[in-house]
Structure 1
């Protein structure tokens, strides 16, 4: 499955738009890692604990979106966009969406 954040796929022609597909998830970090992340926030430095949580959430959301595109028999997803927000401390919501298309 081709996934791009552009309106077209280089070298290919879109012959049919199948509709918008999306995936989302809300992830919470383990309380121990949340405490470590909070302490790191006080002293500074890269917050690996939250990076891991965000990356995991992004992967889950992408898999959900890809599954929906595959069920439509899409060849690609174009105009892929990501959105994230914090629901509460230590949680992250990730939404990913795009247009499923058939290619020539």
Structure 2
């Protein structure tokens, strides 16, 4: 049971990562050309430096796929779902003192 859940989670995680790479490639290709898109893809895979692909994924989802900017931001950087409440909680705890 748990093994099957792990396999499904792994497949879903890989599919999301491939979708981010595709959106990043499309966004960079749309914005500054296919040569830079290939360079960003190589840098992301070879050196694990994913910032260009993350930025490209935002613009790819927004400009190429036509998503609203908030959904594109959550797609490109899903950690924002955890960071935003943490920052708000920190702000409110400082104001409360």
TM-score normalized by structure 2?
0.36
Structure with the higher fraction of residues in strand conformation? 1
Structure with the greater relative contact order (CA < 8 A, sep ≥ 6): 1 or 2? 1
Structure with the higher fraction of residues in helix conformation? 2
TM-score normalized by structure 1?
0.34
